[in-house]
């Protein structure tokens, strides 16, 4: 998982994953949507593929990329306790705010 975090540390790779979230796309489509050159996008896709975050299929001369969710599920599972921590903190804040007098009801 450490290598997955290292791969996701790059904002361009996260943006590529965001673009692939809704379905597979060819490299040229990714290049059109990003402010990167085709060789740069291809390098990022190679890193994502080697990390197991994307999969590629060849169709004639085009390569189509899509997200592989399994490594992301591992990260989600790792983040779950932190999410609960934040939820508990927000619940405590909500309870505290509920006990405060309403604005304008002070006397």
- Tens of pLDDT, residue by residue over 50-98, are 999 999 999 998 999 999 988 888 888 888 988 888 887 787 788 888 8
Centre a 10 Å sphere on the Cβ of residue 16 and count the other Cβ atoms it contains.
Answer: 25
- C-alpha dist (Å) from residue 73 to 50, 56, 64, 69, 89: 17, 19, 22, 6, 24
Q: Encode pLDDT of 71-83 as tens digits.
A: 888 888 888 988 8
**pLDDT over 80 at 101, yes or no:** yes
User: pTM of the prediction?
Assistant: 0.73
Better-scored residue on pLDDT, 83 or 39: 39
Strand partners, 66: 55
Taking 3-state DSSP, the helix, strand and coil percentages for the chain, each rounded to the nearest 5, stand at 65, 15, 25
SS3 annotation, 5-41: HHHHCCHHHHHHHHHHCCCCEEHHHHHHHCCCCHHHH
Read off the pLDDT band of 40 (50, 70, 90).
very high
| 29/34 Cα distance (integer angstroms) | 9
C-alpha separations of 38 from 28, 45, 96 in Å: 7, 10, 53
Average model confidence (pLDDT) across the chain: 89
Per-residue pLDDT, 85 = 82
Instruction: Name which residue leads in pLDDT, 52 or 103.
Output: 52
């Amino acid at each position: 998982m450490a290598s997955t975090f290292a791969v996701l540390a790059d904002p361009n790779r996260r943006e590529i994953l965001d673009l692939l979230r809704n379905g597979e796309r060819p490299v040229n489509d990714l290049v059109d949507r990003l402010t990167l050159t085709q060789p740069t996008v291809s390098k990022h896709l190679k890193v994502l593929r080697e990390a197991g975050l994307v999969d590629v299929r060849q169709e004639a001369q085009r390569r189509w990329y899509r997200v592989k969710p399994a490594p992301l599920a591992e990260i989600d599972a790792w983040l779950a306790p932190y999410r609960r921590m934040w939820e508990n903190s927000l619940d405590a804040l909500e309870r505290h705010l509920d006990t405060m007098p309403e604005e304008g009801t002070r006397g």
